[in-house]
Amino acid sequence: MDEIQLIISCQNGDRKAFTQLIAFYYPYVKKFLVKLTSNEVLSQDLIQETFVKLIRRIDNYNVKKETSFSSYLIAIAKNCYLDHLRKNKKIVLGIDDFEIADKMSFEDRTLNEFQLSKIIKEIDSLPYAQGQAIKMKYLEQMTLQEIAEKFSTIPKTIKSRIHSGISKLRAKFANQ
- 69 domain-assigned: yes
CATH number for 29: 1.10.1740.10
The mean per-residue pLDDT over the stretch 122-139 comes to: 86
- 95 domain-assigned: no
- Indicate whether 99 pLDDT > 90: no
Q: How many domains does the chain have?
A: 2
Distance between terminal CA atoms of the chain? Answer: 54
Are residues 3 and 75 located together in one domain of the fold? yes
- 57 domain-assigned: yes
Quick one: pLDDT at residue 110? Answer: 55
One-letter amino acid identity for 49?
E
The mean per-residue pLDDT over the stretch 122-150 comes to: 86
Quick one: pLDDT at residue 60? Answer: 85
Are residues 7 and 73 located together in one domain of the fold? yes
Instruction: Tell me what the pLDDT averaged over the chain comes to.
Output: 81
Are residues 78 and 107 located together in one domain of the fold? no
| Residue 153 pLDDT class (50, 70, 90 cuts) | very high
- 135 domain-assigned: yes
Quick one: pLDDT at residue 93? Answer: 45
CB-based contacts of 24-33 (< 8 A; 24+ apart in sequence): 25/70, 25/73, 26/51, 28/70, 28/73, 29/73, 29/74, 29/77, 32/74, 32/77, 33/77, 33/81
Quick one: pLDDT at residue 97? Answer: 44
- 97 domain-assigned: no
Are residues 75 and 5 located together in one domain of the fold? yes
The mean per-residue pLDDT over the stretch 75-101 comes to: 67
pLDDT tens profile 29-46: 999 888 888 888 889 999
- 83 domain-assigned: yes
- Indicate whether 106 pLDDT > 70: no
Domain that holds residue 143: 103-176
- Indicate whether 56 pLDDT > 80: yes
